Structure 1
Amino acid sequence: MLSPDTRVLLTDALLPPVGYAIDSVVTTTYSLDLTALLLAPLTFSARTRTGDIDDADPIALLESIRRHVGSITVFTQAGGLKLPSAYRSVLSFAENAVVEVRAPQPGRLFHPKIWLLRFVSDEDGGYLHRFLCSSRNLTFDASWDTLLVLDEDPDSADVVDPAPIAEFVSALPDLATTPMSVDRAAAVVDLARTVRGAHFACPSPFTSMTLHPLGLSEGAALPIPAVADRALVISPFFDPSTSRRFASLAPQTRIVSRAETFDRTGSAAFGYAETFTLQSVADRPGEEETADEPASEVGGVPSGLHAKAFVFDTGDSTLLITGSANATSAALGGNIEFSAALSGPSARCGIDAVWDGGRGTTGLSRIVEPYTITPAEPDAAADALARVEKEMADFRALLAAAGPQLHFTFDGETAQCTLLVPEGMVGAFDGEVTVSPISLQGEYRPLAPEVTWSGVAATNVTAFVGVRTVRDGIELFGVVKAELHGDVAGRDRLILRGHITSAQDLTRCLLFLLGGELPGDLDALAGTDRGPNGERAPGRGTVDDTVLFEPLVRAVIGDRAALDRIDALIRDLDAPADLIDAELRDLLDAVRVAHAAVAGGEK
């Protein structure tokens, strides 16, 4: 289980094995914080030590995104993008990585939280795969979650069948609200192809595992038993029918949920089950949340319990199901979800082991407390909020699927941006709708078939459009992705120039391009000062262009990929002579010639 303070565990799980580099990644999430998305490329380049985006060197962030974003595809619920607290122009380089999707069954959600990663060997080009099955969205929510990590182990006797992963991933491009690019869709399908041969090991002490995607094929269901001796059910959400089902399938049942879920569902639905909530010290809001911020299956869980785990003891065997599916009718009957079912001996992985802990682990009983369900009085305000929240989310999903376009033209270093949406979307929501590029503050304008912003800084041109909806005093913000039309390469060039403003910046960027996975060495070369805990100290350090010589010599010997990255940067930057002087150009030309000679004339 992941606590609110251990987000770094996810970044640890994304790190490539020693001797391998990231090759291809697919991840799925219900809600997506665009800033959190930037953590993945930083991790793949070993550029973050704390899991904190604010700790990242800005040049390292730029280089990591440009290097890795082409190999990452994020599938997210249409309209489920979160408005970032601060806009970063480097998000422009991540636009193509974000694919909005919708569940095929009307009224259901795209809700899985998986990562499928393919690593390539530096030595022989062979592949290794890693699969993560989680309850955590790609956000900064301060919630308690679960994370299951599967790595390949050719020597393992307990092998997990990867076919459900392959079938699930290969189906994702067809769920996109607007067609994906041919190359990106092909990369996703190729990753699904290679994972079929993966040799995933079942984690000890479990002895077998099955994988269960839901919502894509008729009849797919989790292997929840009809009866068990004991049950432990952890879920932030229930509804009356599912709470009765789980509470009655075993004579001894413990249920862990949220206080508001228990009270709104009612004690009768939980029968004789023992009910628990997180202790108040554990169920605390995060730094950016307030204690009274509501949680819902549609709106998400900003803090507190978000884990989903169903544990069943029968005889001396245990079945544990964990993943994205809540204990609700929607999750178990129509939502797109992904969960894993693990089986093993009760003595080592049963309810007592989970509840009491052991072998250096903290049992669940240490962080929960009994909860007495108090019948909730009818709460018209809460009911209205839940209803309007869902209608607002449905509208954003509809708007995303309608194919919005953002056209822009440059006038010097500013642009005129025009958002085009189908006329039928205007008035589709019974309330106020205003929109704005997420890069602009205070520029929300009423939704219309054409909405124009003038004098927009080129670095603020973005495909991500904020959507503000208001009804009955309820105001919510979300984001949809528009199709971008205009001189995108020119915009990207200006963003690059905005980050690389001096020869010193360029030298630092070239060092990162040449540095591979050696952040410690790069810190010394790039003059990056670090604090006692590894955080980046204020200031950007100083460097001398001569520090490029040794890394370039190493590239001559064998790192052609680094030279290709440098060529791409120089081409895309199209920098003036005062940024890339003749001496540096001559040095790079000499390195290319030397590499060709060392490689036997290979270009």
Structure 2
Amino acid sequence: MSFEPGDGASVFAAMRPRKGQMLTRAVIATYSLDMVALLGLVLALGGDDEADFASSPLGLVKAFEQVRSKLVVMHQLGRISAPRAHRSILPLLDTMLHAVATDERTASWHPKIMLARYTGDGGPEWRFWIGSRNLTGSTDLEAGLLLVSGTGRGTRQIADVHDLAAELLAGSLQEEELTELREAKWSAPSGVTVRRLLWRKPGEEKSFLDEWENRRPESIRALSPFIDRTGVGAILGVISGPMTLMTTREAMSSCGPLGRVEYRTAAAPDPEAEVRVEDQQEEAAGDFSDRPTIGVHAKLLMTTRGQKAEMMLGSANLTRRGLRGPNAEAVALLDISDPAVSGPLASFIDQGVQLSAEQPDEERETRLRIERELDHAIYALLERPMALW
């Protein structure tokens, strides 16, 4: 786990079976879904990395056969993007999808999780990833944590992995697989200890800040592309001290000035990036190799005292719906003992462009309200029964 510039890692590469391994189960949770990115995931989990999809679809056919009935992608209803090309294979991918029908006017399905099981000569292996990345073509900066099961020195049981899978991903795993998860021991990145995993199902009200109550750190740093006064205010209500918050200029303008908060910015996240299938086959270059990173989509809260840090990392934006509900979310609470992990993140936030906290922009607020109303109207249309005549 590293926040050093240039140390970005491919999530697809992290989940790809090693030589001699075969995927037996994979469950993905995402808010938005790009079908071309899903093609990339299928190729990574079960395909031929050397196949050129543009000239021959045989690599995808082989990959699809490897992951057939093993891969489930849970996404928010109505948040799926289909490509202009390769439409003939969409029916194959459709069998892997499960749309979570939450009404976004009140709550969203918003967790970002990858859970996979592999078999090989060394026996079964599980990998669990939790973070901020949707299964899309976005090249924004993201943050995530990868845990790998094993029996070596330093591994330990994390009961929350089993409980999260059983509750948030209910119905996606067999009972014997859940039993394996309950007994599994996990290795975390060096200098990182997983204290808790927290999650919330759609419609639930449960705060992710309870374990931060009465903290008195030397510094608070946070990163979130979407914020509101209730979410940031809740953090300030349980954690003492000044906060440096990296967000977007638009989010800051909407939130307005808050005591003890110094705003900084990098760039807004890119919600609608297109991606080619071929890009998904490049391990060394990352998930989406030919487009530059243009924004920050990570969601983090970190406090430091001396050489030690505490961090919350995952899908939850620093908003009321993200931190308390009713959005479905998943986050990891981490204790970080190695300054080499926490230091670069602190520097990245501190070196952002300082923003002057202005009063909310009424014109922008009106535009955003109209956009929300349009989203609500679209969702209401999706709820209505339809038939072709």
If the length of structure 2 is used for normalisation, what is the TM-score?
Answer: 0.82
Question: How far apart are 1:376 and its partner, in Å?
Answer: 3.7
Opposite residue 221 of structure 2, the aligned amino acid is: L
Question: How far apart are 1:337 and its partner, in Å?
Answer: 0.8
Question: Match of 1:318?
Answer: 309
Counterpart contact for 1:235–1:256, Cα < 8 Å = yes
Aligned to 1:277, which of 265, 282, 285? 265
Opposite residue 140 of structure 1, the aligned amino acid is: G
Look up the SS of the partner of 2:36 in the other structure: helix
Q: Distance in 1 between matches of 2:91 and 2:271?
A: 31
CA displacement, residues 264-307 of structure 1 (integer Å, 9 cap, x when unaligned): 1111xx22322110069xx7798649xxxxxxxxxxxx962210
Q: Percent identity?
A: 21
Question: How far apart are 1:395 and its partner, in Å?
Answer: 4.1
Aligned pair in 2 of structure 1 residues 246, 85: CA closer, same or farther (>3 Å)? farther
Q: Distance in 1 between matches of 2:104 and 2:372?
A: 21
Question: Match of 1:154?
Answer: 151
Look up the SS of the partner of 1:243 in the other structure: helix
CA displacement, residues 308-347 of structure 1 (integer Å, 9 cap, x when unaligned): 0100124553211101111111112221111111103374
Aligned to 2:322, which of 331, 338, 342? 331
Question: Match of 2:228?
Answer: 239
CA displacement, residues 107-139 of structure 1 (integer Å, 9 cap, x when unaligned): 211111101110101x36x21100000201111
Q: Distance in 2 between matches of 1:192 and 1:336?
A: 21
Question: Match of 1:209?
Answer: 195
Look up the SS of the partner of 1:91 in the other structure: helix
Counterpart contact for 1:313–1:346, Cα < 8 Å = no
Question: How far apart are 1:220 and its partner, in Å?
Answer: 6.1
Question: How far apart are 1:227 and its partner, in Å?
Answer: 3.1
Question: Match of 2:69?
Answer: 70
Opposite residue 221 of structure 1, the aligned amino acid is: F
Q: Distance in 2 between matches of 1:326 and 1:55?
A: 37
| 1:33 aligns to 2:49 (yes or no) | no
Q: Following superposition of structure 1 onto structure 2, how do residues 143-222 of structure 1 map, counting pairs within 5 Å?
A: 143-157=140-154, 159-161=156-158, 163-172=159-168, 185=171, 187-215=173-201, 219=206, 221-222=208-209
Counterpart contact for 2:130–2:332, Cα < 8 Å = yes
Q: What are structure 1's unaligned runs of at least 5 residues?
A: 175-184, 290-301, 357-362, 399-424, 427-448, 453-603
Question: How far apart are 1:209 and its partner, in Å?
Answer: 3.0
Q: Distance in 1 between matches of 2:346 and 2:9?
A: 24
Aligned to 1:224, which of 212, 234, 237? 212
Question: How far apart are 1:6 and its partner, in Å?
Answer: 9.3
If the length of structure 1 is used for normalisation, what is the TM-score?
Answer: 0.54
Aligned to 2:252, which of 251, 259, 262? 262
Aligned pair in 2 of structure 1 residues 220, 60: CA closer, same or farther (>3 Å)? same
Q: Distance in 2 between matches of 1:346 and 1:7?
A: 18
Question: How far apart are 1:75 and its partner, in Å?
Answer: 0.9
Q: Following superposition of structure 1 onto structure 2, how do residues 95-134 of structure 1 map, counting pairs within 5 Å?
A: 95-103=94-102, 107-121=106-120, 123=121, 126-134=123-131
Aligned pair in 2 of structure 1 residues 78, 266: CA closer, same or farther (>3 Å)? same
Counterpart contact for 1:244–1:271, Cα < 8 Å = no
Structure (1/2) with the larger helix percentage: 1
Counterpart contact for 2:47–2:64, Cα < 8 Å = no
CA displacement, residues 171-215 of structure 1 (integer Å, 9 cap, x when unaligned): 3566xxxxxxxxxx5745543332222211132112443211223
Aligned pair in 2 of structure 1 residues 347, 136: CA closer, same or farther (>3 Å)? closer
Counterpart contact for 1:319–1:341, Cα < 8 Å = yes
RMSD of aligned Cα (Å): 3.3
Q: What are structure 2's unaligned runs of at least 5 residues?
A: 276-292
Aligned pair in 2 of structure 1 residues 55, 258: CA closer, same or farther (>3 Å)? farther
Question: How far apart are 1:246 and its partner, in Å?
Answer: 2.9
Question: Match of 1:9?
Answer: 10
Look up the SS of the partner of 2:183 in the other structure: coil
Look up the SS of the partner of 1:142 in the other structure: coil
Question: Match of 2:290?
Answer: none
CA displacement, residues 453-496 of structure 1 (integer Å, 9 cap, x when unaligned): xxxxxxxxxxxxxxxxxxxxxxxxxxxxxxxxxxxxxxxxxxxx
Question: Match of 2:355?
Answer: 371
Opposite residue 253 of structure 2, the aligned amino acid is: D
Aligned pair in 2 of structure 1 residues 2, 395: CA closer, same or farther (>3 Å)? farther
Aligned pair in 2 of structure 1 residues 8, 386: CA closer, same or farther (>3 Å)? same
Opposite residue 90 of structure 2, the aligned amino acid is: L
Opposite residue 160 of structure 2, the aligned amino acid is: P
CA displacement, residues 209-243 of structure 1 (integer Å, 9 cap, x when unaligned): 32112237774634334433210011111111122
Aligned pair in 2 of structure 1 residues 193, 110: CA closer, same or farther (>3 Å)? farther
Look up the SS of the partner of 1:305 in the other structure: coil
Aligned pair in 2 of structure 1 residues 451, 2: CA closer, same or farther (>3 Å)? farther
Question: How far apart are 1:151 and its partner, in Å?
Answer: 1.0
Counterpart contact for 2:307–2:339, Cα < 8 Å = yes
| 1:383 aligns to 2:383 (yes or no) | no
Question: Match of 1:42?
Answer: 43
Counterpart contact for 2:194–2:335, Cα < 8 Å = yes
Counterpart contact for 1:21–1:119, Cα < 8 Å = yes
Q: Following superposition of structure 1 onto structure 2, how do residues 339-488 of structure 1 map, counting pairs within 5 Å?
A: 339-345=331-337, 347-350=339-342, 352-356=343-347, 363-365=348-350, 368-379=352-363, 380-393=366-379, 395-396=381-382, 398=383, 425=384, 449-452=386-389
CA displacement, residues 48-77 of structure 1 (integer Å, 9 cap, x when unaligned): 369xx9668411112211321321011111
Question: How far apart are 1:251 and its partner, in Å?
Answer: 2.2
Counterpart contact for 1:164–1:213, Cα < 8 Å = no
Aligned pair in 2 of structure 1 residues 345, 168: CA closer, same or farther (>3 Å)? closer
Look up the SS of the partner of 2:388 in the other structure: strand
Q: Distance in 2 between matches of 1:215 and 1:228?
A: 30
CA displacement, residues 506-548 of structure 1 (integer Å, 9 cap, x when unaligned): xxxxxxxxxxxxxxxxxxxxxxxxxxxxxxxxxxxxxxxxxxx
Question: How far apart are 1:93 and its partner, in Å?
Answer: 1.6
